[in-house]
A and B are shown apart, each in its own frame.
Chain A
Amino acid sequence: EADIYQTPRYLVIGTGKKITLECSQTMGHDKMYWYQQDPGMELHLIHYSYGVNSTEKGDLSSESTVSRIRTEHFPLTLESARPSHTSQYLCASSDRKAFFGQGTRLTVV
């Protein structure tokens, strides 16, 4: 069973607020990913990491940032949320096959 956790599960915030989406895994995986997915749509890669102090941007232009100070923790931060950021954010970790967290459904009003 996958041990990857995302918090919060749901979040409604106002425009301009700074938010951090948390993602933690207990499997010791070096590879971690953030994907953005609108309901029923494709998975867009927004950030990834291959280990501590390694972060890269994905194909989807994003106004978010990530950090990887510890192997198990890969938080995503939006400095100033906008309605266009409304979406579901999925975190995953991989040792070949990827395990996904349950996602954070973000609504910016």
Chain B
Amino acid sequence: QQPVQSPQAVILREGEDAVINCSSSKALYSVHWYRQKHGEAPVFLMILLKGGEQKGHDKISASFNEKKQQSSLYLTASQLSYSGTYFCGTDGSGNTPLVFGKGTRLSVIA
């Protein structure tokens, strides 16, 4: 079942922060985050495997609350290069496939 992302779109000025949320009605084994720039393929950012886990990638970090079946992606002091569409992906245990939310379009302006 497809995870739900919010917001659908966000516009930031350089240096501002943003949070993108991802939730699922199914029990989650892991949460993935990807960024896709216009005309390019999605690129892996990070994967979270355990409840309560947090990870960081430059000034982008994420948390995963396994009990609530939610994950959040935090973008701190945004840069122009952060612009793109962010997708969260989820899969369950065993041979369940990786499915993605509808994406959050992030635009960072000068």
Contact = CB atoms under 8 A, between A and B. Distances in A.
Interface in B71-110: 85, 87, 89, 95, 97-103, 105
Nearest to B105: A40
Contacts of B100: 35, 42-43, 45
Interface string A34-55: 0100001111010010100000
A99 to B, nearest CB: 7
Nearest to B87: A43
A42 B101 contact: yes
A11 to B, nearest CB: 17
Interface string A10-22: 0000000000000
A98 B45 CA distance: 10
B41 A90 contact: yes
A45 B105 contact: no
Nearest to A49: B97
Chain A, interface SS category: strand
B101 A99 contact: no
B22 interface: no
17 contacts: A35-B100, A40-B105, A42-B87, A42-B103, A43-B42, A45-B98, A45-B100, A48-B97, A56-B97, A58-B99, A59-B2, A59-B99, A97-B32, A98-B42, A98-B89, A99-B44, A103-B41
Which 3 A-B residue pairs are closest in the complex by CB-CB distance? Answer: A100-B41, A42-B102, A48-B97
Interface of B: 2, 30, 32, 34, 38, 40-44, 47, 85, 87, 89, 95, 97-103, 105
Given A33-B97, A42-B103, A90-B41, 6 more contacts: A33-B98, A43-B42, A48-B98, A56-B97, A98-B89, A98-B98
